[in-house]
Amino acid sequence: MGEVSVCMSIIVPETLLSPTLLSHARKGDSGIVARVETSGDHAHDLERRLLEMGFVEGARVEVLHEGLIGRDPIAVRVDDMRVALRRREARHIAITPHAA
């Protein structure tokens, strides 16, 4: 008798995926903003700026472009607008990636 192989795929709800930092995302990656966390001397100013740019909990994000040198800066679609930011700023934004 021949062997039988079974292939199963598991669909993981987005809510079960671990948040990752936007600074680790590559071109084409997308997700939902889980939180914005800042610390340090200018934390309040940076957090306010990120929130004003639309990086609020639940916002949809997609990395559209990466710079040539060190993949910096990045262009990100935040809901229906486009924003450019440095990876050092993006490391304060946690996103829940979309399942592939």
- Tens of pLDDT, residues 41-92: 888 899 999 999 999 999 999 999 999 988 899 999 999 999 999 999 999 9
| Residue-level pLDDT at 57 | 95
Under CATH, which architecture does the 14-97 domain have? Roll (2.30)
Domain spans, the chain: 14-97
pTM for this entry: 0.79
Instruction: Quote the CA–CA distance of 57 and 3 in Å, as a whole number.
Output: 49
Cα 4 to Cα 1, 10, 31, 63, 90: the distances in Å are: 9, 20, 37, 42, 47
Q: Does pLDDT of 6 surpass 60?
A: no
